[in-house]
Structure formats: structure tokens, C-alpha cells
Structure 1
Amino acid sequence: MSVLVHGPVPTRSALARFRDSDLFASFKRSKLAMAAFAVTLLLFTLALLAPLISPQNPYDPAQLELINSNLPPLWNADGQSPFVLGTDDQGRDVLSAVFYGLRLSLLVGILGVVVSGLIGIGLGLIAGYFGGFVDTLIMRVADVQLTFPAILIALVVDGVAKAALGGQMDTTASIWLIVASIGLSFWVQYARTVRSSVMVEKNKDYVQAGRLIGLSSPVILVRHVLPNVLGPVFVIATINLALAIITEATLSFLGTGLPDSMPSLGTLIRTGNRFLFSGEWWIVAFPGLALAGLVLAINLLGDWLRDALNPKLQ
């Protein structure tokens, strides 16, 4: 007679469970998603390590020399080492400026997505769970905001804040202002998506059980409902990261975004655009290529994630 020995079931790590998931299998099948992830990871790494790998700090006046201004890329006959991608009119290394610009653009984009996500998820949870007048009010505000382009809303928020503060803002305040502008521009998608999911989840047995045992509404929403509605939110956040980066670049290009003392990719493009027709094409071309590559890679990842999480396509 055989004897069954019962012991503790070994727990698997989150990484091991992810490797065995359908999501990872879908990722391995998509060469385009893998290429987009590789490009995104590379650009994130370059931005993170910018102070360590850049030939110079392009915003430290002590490291700049006007004698090195407007040098072409290294492969040009007039190029000089170590300025691989050339220099601008102030002698700043374009490659270093792109690394630092990536760093700031990604920082603002990520913070903007976090702020918009917090606003939208919070309002979506409240609207979907409580319904009634609260739901109607939040959704009507969302409908009104959808009639305006996001960039227009960001411009209005940025302009009103600067007018109220009299334009007297330091660099940190300027960064948070543009983050707030982006956050207030993109919360609607989160709110509408979360509201729809919550309206389905709140009628399920686990929510009813939570009410019966006396759990408060905030506890039910945060601990039980929220984890079950986050799937679509990740897709929206990925796509909105690219939109947030473009919005920041547009505002900076128009001169209402980040200051010149801490330029992002958009500010570098605005600066280089002045020299485009004088022959110094590299000043605007390489920041533009970095911005285009970053946004394209993130968008491709967002498209793959949307399809991978769509049960109708499984």
C-alpha cells in the first residue's frame, strides 16, 4: 500500500510565473514587440546613465568652450573627437545633450502618467462604485474635457499657472507645473475605463461579501476592486507615456515648457531649429531622431500589450 506524504507546496517566484504566462509567450512570438522593448530599454538605460557615459555635462558652463561651437559630426571632415554627433552654437556636445534630454523627457513623461493615472483611477473608482449624481458629475466633466485637444488643455493650465505666479518659478517648479499640465490633460481615459470595469465588479459576490462583513467602501475599492481593474490601465499608461513625452516636447518647442537651463528633447529641437537652414542640421536632427525613436518604440509596446491583454484575440 502506497503512502502519500503531504508537505508544503513550493512557492514559485513572480518571475517564474511570468515566464510561464500567456503574456510572456505572446511577447516571445512578436518580433516587433521584442525589438520595441530592446529600443525602449536602451534609451531608458542611456537616460539613466547619462551622467556616467556622457563625454561632458552639456549644462556645466565650466566644461563649454566657444572654440568648439558648431562642429559637425565626427565622420565629417571637420569633425573633432570626442564630439561624435557634433556640437551646437555654445560648444555643447550634441550626444551628451541628447542623453540628458532623454533623461528629463522621460522623467516628466513618467511623472505625468503617474499624476494622470492617480487622478483618473481615483475618479473612475468613485464614479463607478457610487453612481448617481457623483457619477454623472464626473462623467460630464470628462465629456467636456474630451472636446478639447490635450495639448490645448496643457497650454491653458501652463499659461494660467505662470500668469498667477507672475512667471517667477525655479526649475523644480517649472518641472512640476508641466507634470501637472500633462496629468490634467490625460486623466479622462483612465476614469472612463476604470468606471466601466468597476460597474461590473461591484455587483460580484466578493464585493457583496465585503459589504456584509462591514468593510468600508474605501477598503473594498482599494484592496479588492482596484486590483481587478488594473489590466486595461497598464495599456493606457503605456500608450499615454508616449503621448506625455510628445506633449512635453511640444510645449517645450513652443517655449512654454521646460526652461533652457534644463532642456529636454523638445527644447533641444527648438534650439536646433534656429540653425537648420544655416547648415548645422545635426543640432536638431539627432534630438529629433531620439524623440521619434523613443515615442515609436513605446507606442509599439503599447499596441502589443493592448492586443495581448484582449481576450477576444486569444
Structure 2
Amino acid sequence: MSTTNTPSASPSPQKPPSLLARILDSDILASFLRSKVTIVAAIVVLILFIGAAFAPFIAPTDPFDPATVFLADASIPPVWQDGGDPRFIIGTDDQGRDLYSAILYGLRVSLIVGGLGVLLAATIGITLGLLAGYFGGRVDAVIMRIADVQLTFPAILIALLIDGVVRGIFKSATREDTALYVLVISIGLSFWVQYARTIRGSTLIERNKDYVHAARLVGLPAPLIMLRHVLPNVIGPVLVILTINLALAVITEATLSFLGVGLPPTQPSLGTLINIGNRYLFSGDWWIVTFPGVTLAVLVLAVNLLGDWLRDALNPRLR
């Protein structure tokens, strides 16, 4: 009597976990949830970013629309002080603009300038760092000497230099037309060195590993090896630098605007608002400078706390 053996059904391959499942099961999320300070900092940053992104919808008025600004409302104190007006929760500035609305719009400008400046710095630094670390030799020496020279120029001096060059080239352009680009380029040229040195050091290690040698043996071009194979393995520290440098970029923009080199009053940032309020500090109108200054300090502190947490979370020695 013959029997037929039916083949047993092979187990179906397991579906790989989704990105959300990997994030929920990661050590980084557990580290984030364990730190109450980091959670508070993340909430503060999220609130500030939402306020900046939706400023036209959240702000009671457009503080830079001449049709909504009246000089008769100038220097009104916060609502809890004598002479306060319920229309202006934290008062108005010297031109009658609602300070709460001005801070939301100024925060948006500061974050745009800081974010674009950091992205420009990261792009320049990562590109030059990969080239220096992968090729070495004279390429490495030239790029690192340029980095050493750049460190001798502070952001303020670079901003003045770029502003002078732009005015010389585009003589018909006004400051309102070029101020944003000058600030972004100044921040980008001031911060790229840190990215380049970090990427270079990691690339010097990665270029001697087997997967890079294998990619060379199969004939892949150097740019493809750097972008597809080396960059994903050296990008981790850059995320930490990006977070911390965002706070530094916002401070740099505020400093330049406070000194009169940054954005004009028609395109106000937090630094411009602080500069305007500083003129009236000793006349008793303390709120004009205090609230933009507190907003800037809270933003920088919260972003720095997130950067410190991210640095520790991505460091395997601290796990």
C-alpha cells in the first residue's frame, strides 16, 4: 500500500516591522521618555515652532500691516498693569504694534534664517568633510587649512564682508532685499567647519573598512561610494551638531540684528525686536525688550536641552 507524502506548508516569511514600530521599540524613545526635562523641552520647542509656522492665523493682528497699526496705541503696557488694554495682552511697542503678534512673526523670521543658515553650513561642511576624509593627502590638507583660516573670522565680520560685497555687486538692491540672504550666507560660512571636521574624522575611519574596499572593487565611482555607503555611517554626529547649531544660529542672527547688521525693522526678527525695545528700556517701557528677550532665551535653552539629550542618546558608551 503506497502512501503519498504531502509537502508541509513552509512558514511564511515574517513581515519586517514598520518604521513606527521600530521607533516605538528603540532605545532612543525609551531614553526620551525617561527624561522629564527633555520632554518639557520638546513640548516648548514644538509650541514655539507651531506658533511661528501659523503666526498669520494665531496672531490677533498683522503687526507689519500699516492698516492695522496706529500710533495712538504706542507704548501701551501689558494688560495687568495700569493703563493696559485688553486688546494687547503683553502691550505694544513704540509704533503701536501688538507685541504678542510681533513676537510670533519675529520668531518665524528668526527660525527661517537660523534653519536655512544651518542647512547651508551642513551642506558645505558635509561635502568638504567627505572629500577631505575620503581622498586625504593634498585635498585633505587644503580643506583643513581653509577651515583653520575661516575660524579666525567671526560671524559678525563675515556678515559685514558679505554685506559690503553684495552692495558693491548689486548697487540697486536695498537692504530689505538682501538682508535675509546676507544673514543666511554669513551663518552658513561661519558654522561649516564643525561639520567638516566631524565628518572628516569619521570618514578617515570608514574609508579603510571592507565594505568601502568592496565597493571600489566592483567599480563604483568615488562620489557614489561617499554618498551611498560612507555618508549613512557618519551622519549620526551631524544630527547632534544640527540641533545645537540651530540655537547658535538663532543667537547669531539675533546678535547681528541687534547690532544693526541683520534684518531691518520692516522684516523684524527677535533680534530686531530686542534692538527696538532696548532703546526704550530706561524710559520705563520694559515690556518692549523683555518679552522678545525671554522668548529668545526660552527657545535657545529648549533647543540646547534637546541637543544635549540627543548627543547622549546617540552615544553607545552611555547606554
> Which one has a bigger Cα radius of gyration?
2
Give the CA deviation at 1:250: 0.5
4+ runs deviating over 4 angstroms:
none
Q: Do 2:265 and 2:272's aligned partners in 1 also have CA atoms closer than 8 Å?
A: yes
Answer yes or no: is 1:137 the counterpart of 2:146.
no
Alignment correspondent of 1:238 = 243
5+ residue gaps, structure 2: 1-6
Whole-angstrom distance in 1 between the partners of 2:283 and 2:133: 56
Letter in 1 for 2:93: D
Q: 1:286 aligns with which of 291, 300, 304?
A: 291
Alignment correspondent of 1:299 = 304
Whole-angstrom distance in 2 between the partners of 1:145 and 1:272: 33
Give the CA deviation at 1:168: 2.5
Alignment correspondent of 1:255 = 260
Q: Do 2:92 and 2:288's aligned partners in 1 also have CA atoms closer than 8 Å?
A: yes
Q: Do 2:155 and 2:186's aligned partners in 1 also have CA atoms closer than 8 Å?
A: no
Answer yes or no: is 1:78 the counterpart of 2:83.
yes
Whole-angstrom distance in 2 between the partners of 1:156 and 1:301: 33
Q: Do 1:260 and 1:267's aligned partners in 2 also have CA atoms closer than 8 Å?
A: yes
Letter in 1 for 2:208: N
Answer yes or no: is 1:174 the counterpart of 2:179.
yes
Q: Do 1:154 and 1:185's aligned partners in 2 also have CA atoms closer than 8 Å?
A: no
Structure 1 residue matching 2:20: 3-state secondary structure: helix
Q: Do 2:212 and 2:229's aligned partners in 1 also have CA atoms closer than 8 Å?
A: yes
Whole-angstrom distance in 2 between the partners of 1:44 and 1:194: 29
Note closer, same or farther for the CA distance 1:64–1:217 as it changes in structure 2 (3 Å cut). same
Q: Do 1:112 and 1:180's aligned partners in 2 also have CA atoms closer than 8 Å?
A: yes
Letter in 1 for 2:284: G
> Superposition pairs for residues 96-245 of structure 1, below 5 Å?
96-166=101-171, 168-169=173-174, 171-245=176-250
Q: 1:54 aligns with which of 59, 65, 68?
A: 59
Q: Do 1:155 and 1:251's aligned partners in 2 also have CA atoms closer than 8 Å?
A: no
Q: Do 1:154 and 1:184's aligned partners in 2 also have CA atoms closer than 8 Å?
A: no
Paired residues, number: 314
Give the CA deviation at 1:77: 2.2
Letter in 1 for 2:99: V
Give the CA deviation at 1:46: 0.5
Higher mean C-alpha deviation, range 165-174 or range 76-85 = 165-174
> Superposition pairs for residues 17-56 of structure 1, below 5 Å?
17-56=22-61
Give the CA deviation at 1:79: 0.7
Whole-angstrom distance in 2 between the partners of 1:256 and 1:31: 39
Identity of aligned residues (%): 61
Deviations 1:7-62 (A, max 9, x none): 13223221221111111111111111111111111100110110001010000000
Q: TM-score, normalised by structure 2?
A: 0.94
Q: TM-score, normalised by structure 1?
A: 0.96
Letter in 2 for 1:221: M
Answer yes or no: is 1:14 the counterpart of 2:19.
yes
Q: Do 2:159 and 2:182's aligned partners in 1 also have CA atoms closer than 8 Å?
A: no
Structure 1 residue matching 2:32: 3-state secondary structure: helix
Letter in 2 for 1:8: P
Structure 2 residue matching 1:184: 3-state secondary structure: helix
Give the CA deviation at 1:117: 0.3
Structure 1 residue matching 2:190: 3-state secondary structure: coil
